[in-house]
Amino acid sequence: MQSNKENLIVDLTFAFAADSVRFCDSILKELNYTLYYQFGKSSTSIGANVREAQNAESKVDFIHKMKIAAKEADESEYWLLLAEEVYKIEGIKKLLGQIGSINKVLSKIISSSKKN
- The confidence band for 1, taking pLDDT boundaries of 50, 70 and 90, is very low
Cβ–Cβ < 8 Å for 98, 46: no
2: pLDDT strictly greater than 60: no
How many beta carbons lie within 10 A of that of residue 80, not counting itself? Answer: 24
Rounded mean pLDDT, 27-42: 84
Q: pTM for this one?
A: 0.89
pLDDT in tens, 39-61: 999 999 999 999 999 999 999 99
Specify the pLDDT at position 71: 98
Q: Inter-axis angle of helices 92-115 and 59-87, to 10 degrees?
A: 160
Nearest 10 degrees: CA dihedral of 7, 13, 16, 18? -90
The DSSP letter of residue 21 is H
Residues whose CB falls within 8 Å of the CB of residue 78, separated by 6 or more in sequence, listed in order: none
- Domains contained in the chain, CATH given: 8-115 (1.20.1440.60)
Amino acid at 29: K
